[in-house]
Structure 1
Amino acid sequence: MFDPALFKLPGMRRAATILGLLAIVEGICIVFQAYYLSVAIVGLWHLHSLASISQPMLWFALAWVGRQLLVVIKNRVMYPLVEQTTGDLRRKVMQKLYRLGPSYVAKTGTGNVVTTALEGIDKVQTYLMLVVIKVIDMMVIPWIILIYIAWLRWREALFLLAIFPLIILFMIILGYAAQAKADKQYVGYQRMSNHFIDTLRGLPTLKQLGLSKRYADNVYQVSEGYRKQTMAVIKTAMLSTFALDFFTTLSIAVVAVFLGFGLINGTITLLPALVILVLSPDYFLPLRTFANDYHATLNGKNAFADVQKMLALPVPTERQQLGTQPVQWQSDSTLSLHDVDFKYDDDQLALKHINIDVHGYQRIGIIGASGSGKSTLINLLGGFLTPVADQGKIQVNGQTVSHLSQDAWQQSFFYIPQNPYLFHATLAENIAFYQPDASRQAIER
């Protein structure tokens, strides 16, 4: 559940250290809260005056307030880091998409890209905000409570120590089942997103062919499959929550029975017995809160894994072979490709022995049957695809380059795809989408 890649994020180790220290203080507050509450209850049991229990109740109130303040402080510590981290991830994803180009979108699917870049980052934010605090609390607070219970009475502490890993083992088994179902649900969600985007794009064509109503059945089947996958995840979540509540409640009941026998036999007094009984639910509370949020963060974990996988994809290197300034295309400029090959992931060549010679200002049309590689060639010329290494020769103004994914080259031309997209922004912002710092004069030009 706790992805090790989280600790590689900037600032996460420092935040985890601070959260660990705050969890230690919170555990101490929980112990103080249980002790002084038990002192007040025992005082009332022995018919002491209300004035005599005012001081224990004051200490209890201070410990309770301190515990709640620590929860707020932990959220305050984590929230700015999560905001900055998700913002950086979103920028890195968009930059990576620009580097990977339209071929990655075509291969992965527009719905998958949208899910990862937009909603996926939002799910990552929820995942980071919930899981880090919960995991650290689960690793720290139960040990503080267990040490204090062991100091009061070692038998109950030994039982709680033995039952905790058994509950965790059972939850791991259910967690793997939930993870498998959540993975299928996330894939189904991406598939539904792809179908939705494809439907919107192809709706005019479907209407012209009279197939729009027939295609609606396909959309229904996809959405119905996603509904069934979601219900399967919810069933597993409800089962795991019930199992956790059952075992923790049963464990607390067993501790209460042990304490009851101890009171009957006179081996323990009322105050420590009551303190142990009050602390027992708090001993399991971090595990229960973690389990409650576990299923809510599964999609966030999957989205985080997808983001990391996409950011790890290789991109062309040696992008400065033409310098840092845009290439100024003039009447005597030249672009030539000789015996250039390109292939996708499989071994079959998509483009073979491509030869092109362009001189100065020309209008060039690329003609070919559907699937013959026209879009692939355009993406290759735009620097969005990288040709087969050490095969053929590419020259710009007589200078040999290993590929056209050059910063200077890509800054010197305009690329209009077959299906352009206007963002929900001003016309000027759409024109300057890849150069947001452009001046008004540059935009108008």
Structure 2
Amino acid sequence: MIDKTLMRLSGMKRIMTMLAGFALVQAFVILLQGKFLAEGIVHSWNRQSLAGLWLPLGLFATAFVIRQLIVWVRNRIGARFAMTSSAWLQAQLLKHLYALGPAAVAKEGTGNLVTMALDGIPEAENYIELILNKILNMSIIPWVLVAYIWYENWLTGFTLLIMFPIIILFMVILGLAAQDKSESQYAGFQKMSNHFIDSLRGLKTLQLMGISRQYANNVYDVSEDYRKQTMGVLRIAMLSTFALDFFTTLSIAVVAVFLGIKLMDGTIPLYPAMVALILAPEYFMPIRDFGTDYHATLNGKNAMKAIWQVIDQPLPTDTNVLPAFSRWRAQDTVTINHLDFTYPNERAGIQNANLQFTGTEKVAIIGASGSGKSTLLNLIGGFLQPQKAAMTVRG
């Protein structure tokens, strides 16, 4: 259930171990909270002295405070780790984009990369912050609670245990549908971002050519497609939330009816029935929290996937970084001999180019579209890897 890209973040295993330890402690605190509350209710039901009620109520209050403290600490740890990791991701993204150069920006789309660096990073941060605690809660807390309920009354524990996989199955089915819709929505968001940036860049040209209104309709169509995709994701999210709430509420109701019949028959003591009824909502709470926030994290998951795809792009290896120098002098030269470059898709690039630039002269590189002007600049800048070349700068 843990996204593989999360495990690539620095310190993830240490943070997960720490949060898992807190989750285990929190599970036992929730268990004690339910236990002491049930003891207090049973004590009152048996009409015992009021003095004997203060101890379970005091222990219940103590467990409640400890639980809230653990939740606060876990949220602080998760938020701090998410902030640090997102800042590292942003730095790596910008560093990699700078090394990849203009060719990568043109390939991915300026609007897409700007949105990824500005909006995608906060969404990835939100995803990291929410998903860790939610998954650990769902992986640890229910099993501690159901083990104690089983110990008090095995039939109730068995009933809760068989209901959990059914809810998980429905969540998986709806989750896969939501993920497909979300990926489609994120692709639409990238497309809309690129259209928006392109329209801003070429607004003057579109006006001069008299097709600005036509392009405005194109932007409207793209944004309308994105709106429909977003509504599709929201429909799936609302359906899954309804299904999750329905099945968890139904499960708790089944347990309550079952325990009520047992109590009327006198086949179960009051304490096991009360502790099971109190802990049953806590048993289903982690999966309800996960289901509620799952859709809120899908955008962050998609953004994080897109960020890693950019970071994983290979960089040119055969590069020499020039030493720092104060200024370019009149006698300095850039010499290029026998420059050959062909793109991976066998698209033509540059063949056997020989060039020399001297001093502060102004050089115009002219040629038809696709003749290799941008390719030449990217090769000189080290953003592309030539198949063959002899380049010297200042000797």
SS of aligned partner of 1:371 = coil
Instruction: Give the match for residue 209 of structure 1.
Output: 209
SS of aligned partner of 2:130 = helix
Q: Distance in 2 between matches of 1:51 and 1:234?
A: 53
Query: What's the CA shift for 1:44?
Result: 2.8
Q: Distance in 2 between matches of 1:340 and 1:351?
A: 7
Query: What's the CA shift for 1:328?
Result: 7.0
Q: Distance in 1 between matches of 2:209 and 2:5?
A: 49
Q: Distance in 2 between matches of 1:128 and 1:347?
A: 40
Q: Is the 8 A contact 1:341 1:349 kept in 2?
A: no
Instruction: Give the match for residue 392 of structure 2.
Output: 395
SS of aligned partner of 1:349 = coil
Structure 1: which amino acid aligns with 2:373? Answer: K
For 1:2-401, list aligned pairs within 5 A: 2-320=2-320, 324-326=323-325, 329-388=328-387, 391-398=388-395
Q: Distance in 1 between matches of 2:329 and 2:221?
A: 55
SS of aligned partner of 2:24 = helix
Query: What's the CA shift for 1:265?
Result: 3.1
Q: Distance in 2 between matches of 1:272 and 1:156?
A: 9
Q: Distance in 2 between matches of 1:396 and 1:16?
A: 50
- Which stretches in structure 2 are left out of the alignment for 5+ residues? none
Query: What's the CA shift for 1:261?
Result: 3.0
SS of aligned partner of 1:124 = helix
> Equivalent pairs: percent with the same residue?
49
Q: Is the 8 A contact 2:318 2:385 kept in 1?
A: no
Q: Is the 8 A contact 2:138 2:287 kept in 1?
A: yes
CA 1:188–1:53: 2 relative to 1, 3 Å: same
- Which stretches in structure 1 are left out of the alignment for 5+ residues? 399-445
CA 1:347–1:327: 2 relative to 1, 3 Å: farther
Q: Is the 8 A contact 1:150 1:157 kept in 2?
A: yes
Instruction: Give the match for residue 412 of structure 1.
Output: none
Q: Distance in 1 between matches of 2:9 and 2:25?
A: 26
Q: Distance in 1 between matches of 2:295 and 2:3?
A: 15
Structure 1: which amino acid aligns with 2:390? Answer: K
Q: Is the 8 A contact 2:316 2:383 kept in 1?
A: no
CA 1:194–1:397: 2 relative to 1, 3 Å: same
CA 1:264–1:25: 2 relative to 1, 3 Å: same
Query: What's the CA shift for 1:329?
Result: 4.9
Q: Distance in 2 between matches of 1:254 and 1:174?
A: 24
SS of aligned partner of 1:341 = strand
- Cα deviation per residue 1:34-84 (whole Å; 9 max; x = unaligned)? 112122222333334544322222111111111111110101222222221
TM-score by length of 1: 0.84
Query: What's the CA shift for 1:156?
Result: 1.5
Q: Which has the higher contact order (CA 8 A, sep 6+)?
A: 2
SS of aligned partner of 2:349 = strand
Q: Distance in 1 between matches of 2:117 and 2:175?
A: 27
Query: What's the CA shift for 1:323?
Result: 5.9
Structure 1: which amino acid aligns with 2:166? Answer: L
Q: Distance in 2 between matches of 1:397 and 1:206?
A: 43
Query: What's the CA shift for 1:300?
Result: 0.5
CA 1:217–1:50: 2 relative to 1, 3 Å: farther
For 1:430-445, list aligned pairs within 5 A: none
Q: Distance in 1 between matches of 2:338 and 2:207?
A: 43
Q: Is the 8 A contact 1:334 1:397 kept in 2?
A: yes
Q: Distance in 1 between matches of 2:216 and 2:344?
A: 33
SS of aligned partner of 2:202 = helix
With 306-315 and 1-10 compared, the bigger mean Cα shift is at 1-10
- Cα deviation per residue 1:88-115 (whole Å; 9 max; x = unaligned)? 1111111111101111111110011112
Q: Is the 8 A contact 2:81 2:129 kept in 1?
A: no
Structure 2: which amino acid aligns with 1:373? Answer: G
Q: Distance in 2 between matches of 1:6 and 1:24?
A: 21
SS of aligned partner of 1:385 = coil
TM-score by length of 2: 0.94
SS of aligned partner of 1:340 = strand
Q: Distance in 2 between matches of 1:348 and 1:368?
A: 17
Structure 2: which amino acid aligns with 1:396? Answer: V
- Cα deviation per residue 1:289-342 (whole Å; 9 max; x = unaligned)? 01100000001111111111111111112434x664449754444433233222
- Cα deviation per residue 1:112-154 (whole Å; 9 max; x = unaligned)? 1112211111101000100001101111101110111111011
Structure 1: which amino acid aligns with 2:341? Answer: F
Query: What's the CA shift for 1:359?
Result: 4.0
Query: What's the CA shift for 1:15?
Result: 1.2
Please identify which structure carries the higher helix content: 2
- Cα deviation per residue 1:197-216 (whole Å; 9 max; x = unaligned)? 01111111222223222222
Query: What's the CA shift for 1:371?
Result: 2.8
Query: What's the CA shift for 1:381?
Result: 1.9
